[in-house]
A and B are shown apart, each in its own frame.
Chain A
Amino acid sequence: GQQLNQSPQSMFIQEGEDVSMNCTSSSIFNTWLWYKQDPGEGPVLLIALYKAGELTSNGRLTAQFGITRKDSFLNISASIPSDVGIYFCAGHKNYGGSQGNLIFGKGTKLSVKP
């Protein structure tokens, strides 16, 4: 089935560091979404991107929809302990229409450096 390649799989952060993660696909997507999932909870939408080249911020989070429509990245600036969790990219191919065929990446696990 359709795959989204998300990297890195995991990373350790120290408070105050900037964090980057990205997602790539072999197919074109018309929407890219970034979710965060905490243990025992469902994913929570962080940022939604609808146009190629779009750069959107949500507080300390910034995400971009790649020009080729085959990739997206998420940056977190000045990380804090509550940023710990699993970040998923997700995409779907429909303009508007149903968002149900969201395809998720395998996630990037953010942990605090010991």
Chain B
Amino acid sequence: EAGVAQSPRYKIIEKRQSVAFWCNPISGHATLYWYQQILGQGPKLLIQFQNNGVVDDSQLPKDRFSAERLKGVDSTLKIQPAKLEDSAVYLCASSFTGDSPLHFGNGTRLTVT
């Protein structure tokens, strides 16, 4: 089966600019997650969707980050405006249900200068 697809792989922007990341989960996976992985650390959950509804966004900095999954399939994560501390790898993951193992994409590496 095709894995979780993410694009772009790399993005370099200046602070205060905006950026968007895209994720296409594994076909049939109802649950989609966005994680932030800062260099040298483990991934940290930003937001979790069940179909097109948000299950958990408690760690999403809502003043600058937003995410949507309008049709319950692919998803976008946006940062506006970006700060230097947003430099990280943004990982998307999906699972068949909320109980199933997570499958991660290869991530988007964001550098904010």
Taking each of A88, A98, A106, A107, which has the highest tally of chain B beta carbons within 10 Å of its own beta carbon?
Answer: A98
Interface size class for chain B?
20 to 34
Interface hit among A42-50, A66-74, A75-83: A42-50
Interface residues as binary, B74-113 with A (CB distance below 8 Å gives 1, 0 otherwise): 0000000000000000010101001111111111000000
Interface of A is mostly: loop
Q: Which residues of B contact A42 (CB under 8 A)?
A: 4, 91, 93, 104-107
**B101 in complex: contacting residue of A48, A105, A106, A107, CB < 8 Å:** A48
Measured CB to CB, the residues of B under 8 A from A are: 4, 31, 33, 40-45, 48, 50, 55-56, 91, 93, 95, 98-107
> Is B98 in contact with A102, judged by CB distance below 8 angstroms?
no
A-B CB contacts (within 8 Å), total count: 65
> Is B43 in contact with A104, judged by CB distance below 8 angstroms?
yes
A59 at the interface (CB under 8 A from B): no
A97 at the interface (CB under 8 A from B): yes
> Is B99 in contact with A106, judged by CB distance below 8 angstroms?
no
Inter-chain CA distance A98–B40, complex, in Å, is 26
B44 to A, closest residue via Cβ? A104
Interface residues as binary, A28-49 with B (CB distance below 8 Å gives 1, 0 otherwise): 0000010000001111110010
Interface size class for chain A?
20 to 34
> Is A41 in contact with B40, judged by CB distance below 8 angstroms?
no
Taking each of A40, A42, A43, A101, which has the highest tally of chain B beta carbons within 10 Å of its own beta carbon?
Answer: A42
Inter-chain CA distance A44–B101, complex, in Å, is 10
B101 to A, closest residue via Cβ? A45
- List 12 extra interface pairs beyond A90-B42, A107-B40, CB under 8 A: A43-B91, A45-B102, A45-B103, A88-B42, A96-B99, A97-B99, A99-B99, A100-B56, A100-B98, A104-B43, A106-B41, A107-B42
